[in-house]
Structure 1
């Protein structure tokens, strides 16, 4: 009997689910490895199905998200958080570090029907998570490798090195050194294949914090390159703004050193 999986969505853009749908031939491989019981974007809707592995995309941003994730946890043997939203709160977690009271009014004509929590939380902040797959979006290759490992009963091997190592292997010219771009590759976990730097753009922390990220040293280096301190602070709270190492550096840099409240 094949193992069963479900793919659930909380507050998110559905980008990680789109990666799964766009796996191509690997999606056929996945369907042979497991029975997919719930995956609304693929037309399978059985939220209450008991499964061996539940993949969860999105952050806990609404009361409905809170209720849903508790039920998902009850019905799954393993729960895997996928993507930056599920692992750190995502871009929604900007509300955790900034005054966001006026944001909704700037977007919606009537905010009376909005029902959001005061903060955006990762899945692990509410329920037990067995594994986190980072990315914005995730890597399809890592997803398939994770499923294979879990089916074999062994821990998946996930990257722990920094994006800088991927850049070196790709032969990229460092955008931080050569162009003074505010790249966060030195404090970001590998897994994307150094996608942005390969096209001359700086890293945006999609895959979360690397092991022992020295955010303070990188922040000082970026300021030393002539990038305004406030802009450097803002770089640390974007896609993975729910992570403490990034929040701490944003907090340290957001007020100029000579300004005291």
Structure 2
């Protein structure tokens, strides 16, 4: 399995071929626009803050696309314009399905709770895009999901998505026992609200839940409202003696898992 950290929450997961099935390229939460192509969340700098480090041609021919939610840093106008109309798309609910159908995509499935593509099972998990207090103040943050990807002969991958550390994450870890956990750890903050994503300390907490799993920290240094850096995650992991199981890839870096 190869995991490429593209930028922000955009990840490309490549599975090798099986006897019965060809290899599978899974694109997660595609934000494909150029640097500065959309307004910032804080109203000062424009997002994304950095260029796309991977050639577009390497990203726009996936076998399946997972959209955990349709906030613009996970699904942008460039992705809607560039991805093939017939690529299978997996989403969290009917509202996001309609957004993709309206954009011209033909094969959009709501994970409720699972769907199989080319021998690979995608299972929806829960999440919460902020504390109870934050969601009460900003109900427009909307629902989010995580996804567990299971494929025969491969390690199980859990993509937690845009969530704080909640019981839903703990349930996903205990139920699915993933070998690899991808965490969005930028600890994004909107004015006057609690963080709406996990941060460096949450990496330590998730390691305690799944000490044998490899943790991959993403969703950093690409948006104006993310406060945690890669260096912060690496330093925190080192301070707790877990650097060996915490991977913090740079944009464009590919991990061999």
TM-score if structure 1 supplies the norm length?
0.29
Bigger share in helix: 1
Bigger share in strand: 2
Larger Rg: 1
TM-score if structure 2 supplies the norm length?
0.29
